[in-house]
Amino acid sequence: HLPVARRRRVLLKLSGEVFGGGKLGVDPVTVRGIAEQIAATVGTVEVAIVVGGGNFFRGAELSASGMDRSRADYMGMLGTVMNCLALQDFLEQAGVDTRVQSAISMAQVAETYIPRRAIRHMEKDRVVIFGAGAGLPYFSTDTVAAQRALEVDADVVLMAKSGVDGVYTADPKKDPSATKLEHLTYEEALIKDIRVMDQTAMTMCKDNKLEMMVFGMEGDGNVTRAILGEQIGTRVTV
Ligand code: UDP
């Protein structure tokens, strides 16, 4: 048998912020818009998504107000699953087959995380949505995005950002002379403490030579363009 040309496969990281439109909970209009942009790429690119949960709970914040950290982190993970279900719903409405895979078992709403099965879903044009983070307290969904991308053999991690369209030389909200970078190495990001994703996640990408692109959600069709491989933000490589 001749080897079959593999399609582009991406891991899209959507933070909880994106789901809530800056507020607590899920903003259906926003989620529908994102789902439609993802739907436009199905059949061309294989898409897996890691969903954050900051629009519901962040473990570190709950723990700062007195909760046990691990329990608070589990609340954070459960929040991500609600985002997964919202995204699943709007993707299905847009005509896309989807599967949610959760790192915490909850058979009624999601499959268990099984990486080989996730790959099979993508090969069949299903979008796979990973929920409940790693299922482990003290982790972030950024780290999970890097880990899942490696395990399902994605070509790139796409970090969708709200309110900013890439990595800048300085904080563009504070420094008007800041310019957007086309490219950055993980080394530079780590040394300069540029927080495009958390350090654990960045180290994992660096050690495993996984490429990342940081881009802004806001532009017209930006999510579609990023998935299709257009360079609209900042590329981060080793
Ligand atoms: N979380 C966790 N382990 C994981 C992923 C997430 O404990 O593997 C918890 C953690 O408390 C985190 C919350 O879930 O604050 C929501 O995830 P995150 O903050 O990464 O979401 P985002 O910032 O992307 O919205």
Mean predicted confidence (pLDDT) in 86-113: 98
Choosing from 15, 24, 57, 58 the residue with most ligand 1 atoms within 8 A of its CB, the one to mutate for a pocket test is: 58
The ligand 1 atom at the shortest distance from the C-alpha of residue 143 is 8
131 lines ligand 1 (CB under 6 A): no
In the numeric block, which tokens belong to residue 140? 């972030």
Tokens 């005509």 sit on residue = 95
Mean predicted confidence (pLDDT) in 200-222: 95
Residue 73: which residues within 8 A CB-CB, separation 6 or more? 59, 63, 137, 138, 139
Q: What is the pLDDT of residues 37-70, one digit of tens each?
A: 999 999 999 999 999 999 999 999 999 999 999 9
**pLDDT bucket at 196, cuts 50 / 70 / 90:** confident
Q: What angle is formed at CA 36 by the lines to CA 156 and CA 116, rounded to 5 degrees? A: 45
**pLDDT bucket at 211, cuts 50 / 70 / 90:** very high
Q: What is the pTM of this model?
A: 0.96
Q: Please report, as a single letter, which amino acid is at residue 133.
A: G
Question: Cα of 58 to ligand 1 centre, how many Å?
Answer: 6
Q: Reduced to 3 states, what is the DSSP secondary structure of residue 214? A: strand
Domains of the chain plus CATH, in order, are: 9-237 (3.40.1160.10)
Cα 59–chain centre separation: 18
Closest-CA residue to 196 (of 165, 228, 217): 165
Mean predicted confidence (pLDDT) in 122-129: 98
